[in-house]
Amino acid sequence: MVNIFAVALLYSGDTVLLARRFNADFGNGLYHLVGGKVEQGETARHAVSREVLEETGLDILEDQFTLVHTLHRKGTATELIVLCFAADVSSVHAPRNMEPDKHDDMRFFLVDQLPENMIPAHHQILQCIQQNILYSEHGWYKDTK
């Protein structure tokens, strides 16, 4: 079964918002794009809007998100499609870590100075977006990042 996830590239100028996982089963101590699983009966845009509100307190309307990348990821136990939606948050209030039990840090990073401790697939998504690559794959072959 393939799961669908929606993540947000929340940017302000040349910075992007990342959160660091804390007490997590997967990616503990790694930075990632805000987002989560698309639930049954929910559109991907609704999911990303909901996840952004739950994780950052930012109430961004669904139509403010633009699809900028699709990633097909094969992990050791799961296969998933990640839809990455971008939204400019430069004119909204500062995001807050609404889930301190799941994230121990949340802040903006310059896109050319991303942290080394980042979920590799999310790092790949950001690299692809900078190169205007709309689709990529992760984990399918030995030579994949």
What's the whole-model pTM score?
0.93
> CA torsion sign, 118 to 98 to 38 to 45?
negative
Q: In this model, does residue 124 exceed pLDDT 80? A: yes
| CATH 3.90.79.10 for the 2-138 domain, yes or no | yes
How many Cβ atoms are within 10 Å of 46's Cβ, its own excluded? 15
Domain ranges of the chain: 2-138
In tens, the pLDDT along 29-67 reads: 999 999 999 999 999 999 999 999 999 999 999 999 999
